[in-house]
Amino acid sequence: MRLLLALLLGLAAAVALRAEPQALPQAGQSVPLSRIQEICAHYALNDLWALIESDPPQQPFSSDGCSLWPDTWIAGEDLYEGCFVHDLHYWAGRPGDDLGRLEADVWLLLWVAENVSIDLAEAMFNGVRVGGSEHLNTPWRWGFGRD
């Protein structure tokens, strides 16, 4: 039931998932706000950019790729793009915004399902739901840019 809810929430995001792949900054590279604005525009993440523009996180943004997961999957499929955009959501996330976090996780779920594998998407979705809580003291937790 929870996965069904996540899929329903993500239907609106599905259009942005079909964006042409874009050259993204490398893992660990600090990304300026002007580049973040371009990335958000490319993926039609207008609400995310509005949040960042109106209330920018204090910490600079950089992605670690797929936290505790390989950036390249078994047959060579590249997961970095989806993980990078998911990290951007998590960096900008506001503490206590459980719906925003679910929407970010659904974005990743749909991106992986469309680009790699539905089974992998479900596994990664479950992983980020457990491991991305703002209450964990990890560098990839929800709202990590707002420490």
Kindly state the average pLDDT of the residues 59-66.
96
Kindly state the average pLDDT of the residues 43-58.
97
CB 7: neighbour CB atoms within 10 A? 15
- Check pLDDT > 70 for residue 8: no
pLDDT of residue 76: 86
High-pLDDT (> 90) share of the chain, %: 77
Radius of gyration of the chain (CA): 14
Alpha helices in 1-117 (DSSP H): 2-10, 14-17, 33-42, 46-54, 80-92, 98-115
Nearest-angstrom CA–CA distance, 31 and 28: 9
Nearest-angstrom CA–CA distance, 49 and 85: 12
Q: What is the mean pLDDT of the chain?
A: 89
Q: pLDDT tens-digit profile of 35-49?
A: 999 999 999 999 999
**125, 108 in Cβ contact below 8 A?**
yes
- CA neighbours within 13 Å on the CB side: how many for 30? 4
pLDDT of residue 15: 45
pTM recorded for the entire structure:
0.88
Q: pLDDT tens-digit profile of 70-115?
A: 889 888 889 999 999 999 999 999 999 999 999 999 999 999 999 9
CB 39: neighbour CB atoms within 10 A? 19
**80, 27 in Cβ contact below 8 A?**
yes
What is the domain extent for residue 12?
2-146
Kindly state the average pLDDT of the residues 124-129.
97
Tally of domains within the chain: 1
The model's confidence at residue 7, banded by pLDDT at 50, 70 and 90, is: low
